[in-house]
Amino acid sequence: MEINIMKSKDLPEETLKTVHSNMENHDIVMKPRMETKNLTVKYGQAYGVKNISLPFKDKTVTALIGPSGCGKTTFLRALNRMHDLTREAKIEGEVLLDNKNIYDEDINPVNIRRKIGMVFQKPTPFPTMSIYDNVVAGLKLVGIRNRSLLDEVCEKALKQAALFEEVKDRLKTPAVSLSGGQQQRLSIARALAVEPEVLLMDEPTSSLDPQATLRIEELIHVLKKDITIIIITHNMQQAARVSDKTAFFYVGDLIEAGDTNTIFTNPKEKQTEDYITGRFG
């Protein structure tokens, strides 16, 4: 089969081989659920990310790590076409979801974003809506009005996001009455309610306290039984705790990717090692 290796032109050949060997055991077993091929995002003349090829296996958690400004977020936002909203951003290469390029002409980005959910760095509840209305907001978009179905999905999503017990008696109260950690879990519940196949998380715990962070990490462990998760984190321990695969970005390039264990214990690249051990970034 085709070898889906992240590739930066500047990397020496033996690195590619080792990266390859890190990945191949899994890749041969199954085709990736989602993958990028030579994905480049440009803002005008400036590169956001360059030539990234990276597979994401079904029902795994992939952590994207790297110093600030290295292109992680740019990369992540290319995966559900959020860059469509930025006039300056130009996308080259492919992002395949089940082998279909989501940037193809015949693809409606609205449908893509329904399949590929996103959770942002800051909690983003809709402030004028109740907790309940926030969770079912995405369902109402697709025209679901059936009350009992909405109730059911709302409860399920809130349970998945480990928020149900805390809010079950006040579903009709404004979402902004929740604490920051609860709001973030609400944002996750809202993203899960539309049953995405892939969930993108952009530093979901960076504005949360350790307790709330822990709950969200537990949540990720549960969620990966059903869906593919791609998470950006600045917290090395978090990446080690929650992810199966890790990809290290640096200045718009993908430096190294592979099993999280391997990346953290035996990175092939000096830059990766330096970053993980805290020597820079």
Q: Which residues here bind other proteins, judged by CB under 8 A? A: 80, 82, 85, 110-114, 117-118, 120, 122-129, 137-138, 141-142, 176, 180, 183, 187, 190-191, 194, 207
Q: What is the CA radius of gyration of the chain?
A: 19
State the amino acid at position 12 in one-letter form.
Answer: P
Q: At its nearest, how many Å lie between other proteins and the CB of residue 162?
A: 20
Nearest distance, CB of residue 150 and other proteins, angstroms: 15
**CA geometry: angle 151, 222, 25, nearest 5 deg:** 140
Which one, 15 or 207, has the nearer CB to other proteins?
207
Residue with smaller CB distance to other proteins, 64 or 76: 76
Nearer to other proteins, 16 or 120 (CB): 120
Residue 50: CB atoms within 10 Å: 20
Q: Quote the least distance from Cβ 161 to other proteins, whole Å.
A: 15
Residue 8: left (phi > 0), alpha (psi -120 to 50), or beta?
beta
CA distance 179 to 134: 15
d(CA 236, CA 219): 18
Which C-beta is closer to other proteins: that of 115 or that of 234? 115
Instruction: Indicate the residue type of 271.
Output: Q
Report long-range pairs for 164-173 (Cβ below 8 Å, ≥24 apart).
Answer: 167/131, 170/131, 171/130, 171/131, 171/132, 172/130, 172/131, 172/132, 173/130, 173/131
Cβ at position 243, least distance to other proteins in Å: 21
Is the CB of 207 or the CB of 261 nearer to other proteins? 207
First to last CA, the chain: 36
Closest approach, Cβ 114 to other proteins, in A, equals: 3
Residue 36's beta-bridge partner residues? 54, 95
Structural tokens at position 5: 């290796």
> CB-wise, 191 or 240, nearer to other proteins?
191
- CB 74 to other proteins: min, Å: 14
Residue closer to other proteins by CB (options 180, 279) is: 180
Are 232 and 64 a contacting pair, CB within 8 Å?
A: yes
Is 238:61 a contact under the CB 8 Å cutoff? no
CB of 144 to other proteins, least distance (A): 13
Report the residue number, 96 or 175, with the smaller CB distance to other proteins: 175
Shortest distance in whole angstroms from residue 131 CB to other proteins: 14
